[in-house]
Amino acid sequence: MSAKPLNVNEDEIAKFEQIASQWWDLTGDFKPLHQINPLRVNFISQHIASALNSDDTNNGFYNKKMIDVGCGGGILSESLAKLGAQVMGIDMGTEPLNVAKLHALESSLSINYQKITAEEKALQDPEAFDVVTCMEMLEHVPEPESVINACASLVKPGGLVFFSTLNKSIKSYLLAILAAEKLLKIVPDGTHDHDKFIRPSQLIGWAEAHGLKCIDTSGIHYNPITGNHKLDNSLDVNYILCCRKL
């Protein structure tokens, strides 16, 4: 019997390999990720504090075991580590991981980066993490539900899982692909495939089918022309979810 193929799109991996050197260029191809990262960290902070009934949104990170699934060059991983978390970052791109390791070294941060799929890691370390993050990754794999299942397996009972991705809407096509890729060239042409975008109802359905309860949603509004970004109630384009493992 042949082994089950990895849940990896080699074309997607190749795209990010080619631009890996730009991960930490604040004016390069990953500029939008750097701009929305504080919003993601704030959303995570608030929910960790709420889970601990604490007013200190940073206090909850200390000694928490967190895994960043699809970490790329480590933008979110480093932010979590700076707040005191014990962070592991996993990805299947060799060059992005090399960039992440080097930047963490330069930043004097201890982050455990590994080249492994979420599914493989879930088999190795089930229920090992207090918090799991999976940001802007689901739209780049052949079977997103498989990653969601793995994230649910990785987190401890009562722990939190955060997902962010793009809604499969007309507005997301107009802003994320037509405007950002084709017209304004903010991100490389071909970065996204609208067919792989995921409606919030679909993502929540998958999460709840695998033992996660969605406890909050928020839209991530990014204006590619002005560079302004904020959390809001509209899930039309980018959105982020917080789920708790039952």
d(CA 234, CA 31): 22
Q: Is 40 annotated as a binding residue?
A: yes
Closest-CA residue to 45 (of 202, 206, 37): 37
H helices present in the chain, as ranges: 10-18, 31-51, 75-82, 94-106, 118-124, 144-154, 170-172, 200-209
Q: Give every strand in the sheet of 111-115, ordered side by side.
A: 111-115, 86-91, 65-69, 129-135, 155-166, 238-245, 212-222, 229-232
Report which secondary-structure segment, H or E, holds 145.
helix 144-154
At 77, the amino acid letter reads S
φ/ψ (deg, to 5) at 44? -65, -45
144 within 8 A of 70, measured Cβ to Cβ: no
d(CA 245, CA 146): 16
Q: Is 211 annotated as a binding residue?
A: no
> Please, which residues bridge with residue 107 across strands?
none
At 96, the amino acid letter reads P
Q: Is 135 annotated as a binding residue?
A: yes
Q: Is 70 annotated as a binding residue?
A: yes
* Numbered residues of the known binding site: 40, 70, 91, 135
Residues annotated within the binding site for S-adenosyl-L-methionine are: 40, 70, 91, 135
